[in-house]
Amino acid sequence: MLKEVVTYLDRLREIAIDQHGFVTLAQALDAGVPQPQIAQMAARGRLERVAHGVYRVPQVPETEYDQYALAVLWSGAPEACLSHDTALMAWDITDINPDRTHITVAKGRRLRRAGGSLYVIHHENLSSADLAWWQGIRVTNVPTAIRQCIETDVPTYLIRQALERAGRTSLLREADKQRLTEHLEVRDGNH
> Letter for the amino acid at 27?
Q
In a domain, 3, yes or no: no
Structural domain harbouring 18? 8-56
Whether residues 99 and 179 fall in one domain: yes
Whether residues 85 and 167 fall in one domain: yes
In a domain, 144, yes or no: yes
Whether residues 97 and 30 fall in one domain: no
Whether residues 82 and 16 fall in one domain: no
CB–CB of 75/111 below 8 Å? yes
In a domain, 26, yes or no: yes
pLDDT (tens place) for every residue of the chain, 191 residues total: 555 556 999 999 999 999 999 999 999 999 999 999 999 999 999 999 999 899 999 999 999 999 999 999 999 999 999 999 999 999 999 999 999 999 999 999 887 776 678 899 999 999 999 999 999 999 999 999 999 999 998 999 999 999 999 999 999 999 999 999 999 999 988 76
Whether residues 88 and 119 fall in one domain: yes
In a domain, 105, yes or no: yes
Q: What is the pLDDT of residue 2?
A: 53
Number of domains in the chain: 2
Interhelix angle 84-91/142-151, nearest 10 degrees: 140
Whether residues 85 and 166 fall in one domain: yes
Whether residues 47 and 71 fall in one domain: no
Whether residues 21 and 111 fall in one domain: no
CB–CB of 139/130 below 8 Å? no
Whether residues 87 and 174 fall in one domain: yes
In a domain, 149, yes or no: yes
Residues linked to residue 188 through DSSP beta bridges, in sequence order: none
In a domain, 20, yes or no: yes
Whether residues 47 and 84 fall in one domain: no
Whether residues 70 and 41 fall in one domain: no
Q: Which of 170, 173, 171, 121 is nearest to 148 (CA)?
A: 121
Whether residues 48 and 88 fall in one domain: no
Q: What is the pLDDT of residue 1?
A: 54
Cα first-last separation, the chain: 75
In a domain, 2, yes or no: no
